[in-house]
Structure 1
Amino acid sequence: MSIRVIKNEFYMDSTISLALFRNVENAKEVRQNVMNGTFEAALLKPSMICDPFQVIVAANRAIHLNRQNKMITKNVHSEILFCLSPTKNISDSFRKFGLADNETSVMVVVADDIDGSTMSAICKCVKGELSDAQDVIHLTETKLIQKIYKIPDEELVVSKLLDSIVSRISSKDVLTL
């Protein structure tokens, strides 16, 4: 039951912090704190995440786009949400992958929180149980993910769901579903 901090292998001065909360009672308040700038983070629906690696790939992509001054959205955290989505529709990305007010679980992603102060503030704000990020697999809605990413059952015979998703995230600029 911990916060996972990953060093970005391409940008050594960059980190990605992940935290999964379950039985959240105040999703609306947490979301409002992000929207009004109290703290910067990406708040994700765990049902749309099949593995933390999916989030790490999207976050690395967002950080890279930020460093290249090629982001589509306003900040790196909203870019993480956008990078998770297989489409180029920003509002659709937020609706499908972002936290809704009635959610009871949330995956929090914070980029470049070197001293841990942002994640610490979020942990104090969230009224819920901190779980291991890997536990997100128990909250995954596989069929919904397949539908959104347009992954047919036949593809899963030769590829894992995570591999198919990562391929789509990585090739978003080239191919839009």
Structure 2
Amino acid sequence: MVEIYSYPLDPDTKTNLKIYLFKNVLNVETIRNNIVNGVWNCAAIKPSLVLDPLQIAVAANRAVVAEKAGNLVTRTVYGEILYNLSLSKNISQSLSKFGVEKDNALLMCFLINDKDESDSIIKQIQGELCPISELHNFTNMKEVKSVYKLNSLKSNIDLLDIIVSRMVIKNFVTY
């Protein structure tokens, strides 16, 4: 069994996060359509823009807290995760930047509370499940620095801290 990333989110939401990493995915268009049309309750994220699963955990936590408070900016909690990953306040720009389009590698993100539908969805993905510890092999540092406006940084030290901080304060600051 390949390792997955599982993380408890805000206790008030009684929700856990599960992330699966896939490569060589053949049915990306079907996956995208199932998510966009609400057939599947999950998010497909470009792994090239993710430095660490913590980024997704922070975005997911903000999304479930916003959903519980009735303050979603997007239509779904999964769209909210993609929106929270981005520095942009433009919803469609955030969804297209972090959502999977034609990539053959993807991160599947599930929010688990009462029932867990992830197993049935994962079985329908025609790709190779990878250990989440291999995420760094998919990350494109140049793209990450560009998306988070960190091109002037010479070092990658503390990059995750800076990215998470920028994600969290996006509602207060314009980049």
Q: Above 0.5 in TM-score?
A: yes
Find the counterpart in structure 2 of residue 37 from structure 1.
38
1:10-57 per-residue CA deviation (whole Å, 9 max, x = no partner) reads 436111111111111110011111112221111100001011111111
**CA 62–23 in structure 1, closer or farther in 2 if over 3 Å, else same:** same
Cα contact 1:52–1:134 (8 A) shared by 2:
no
Cα contact 1:113–1:119 (8 A) shared by 2:
no
Cα contact 1:15–1:114 (8 A) shared by 2:
no
TM-score after normalising by structure 2 = 0.92
Find the counterpart in structure 2 of residue 96 from structure 1.
97
Q: Give the Cα separation in 1 of the matches to 2:57 and 2:84.
A: 11
Q: Give the Cα separation in 2 of the matches to 1:30 and 1:141.
A: 22
Find the counterpart in structure 2 of residue 138 from structure 1.
137
Cα contact 1:82–1:90 (8 A) shared by 2:
yes
Find the counterpart in structure 1 of residue 105 from structure 2.
105
Aligned residue type for 2:168: S
Q: Give the Cα separation in 1 of the matches to 2:138 and 2:132.
A: 11
Cα contact 1:17–1:113 (8 A) shared by 2:
no
Shift of 1:152: 3.3
Find the counterpart in structure 2 of residue 172 from structure 1.
170
Find the counterpart in structure 1 of residue 119 from structure 2.
120
What SS class does the counterpart of residue 73 from structure 2 fall into?
coil
Identity percentage of aligned residues: 32
Moved over 4 A (4+): none
Find the counterpart in structure 2 of residue 162 from structure 1.
160
TM-score after normalising by structure 1 = 0.91
What SS class does the counterpart of residue 127 from structure 1 fall into?
coil
1:78-136 per-residue CA deviation (whole Å, 9 max, x = no partner) reads 00000000010111111110001x211110111125442x2112211100111122321
What SS class does the counterpart of residue 43 from structure 1 fall into?
strand
Structure 2: runs of 5 or more not aligned: none
Q: Give the Cα separation in 2 of the matches to 1:73 and 1:162.
A: 25
Find the counterpart in structure 2 of residue 56 from structure 1.
57
Q: Tell me the C-alpha RMSD between the 2 structures.
A: 1.6
Shift of 1:9: 4.1
Aligned residue type for 1:45: K
Q: Give the Cα separation in 2 of the matches to 1:39 and 1:146.
A: 31
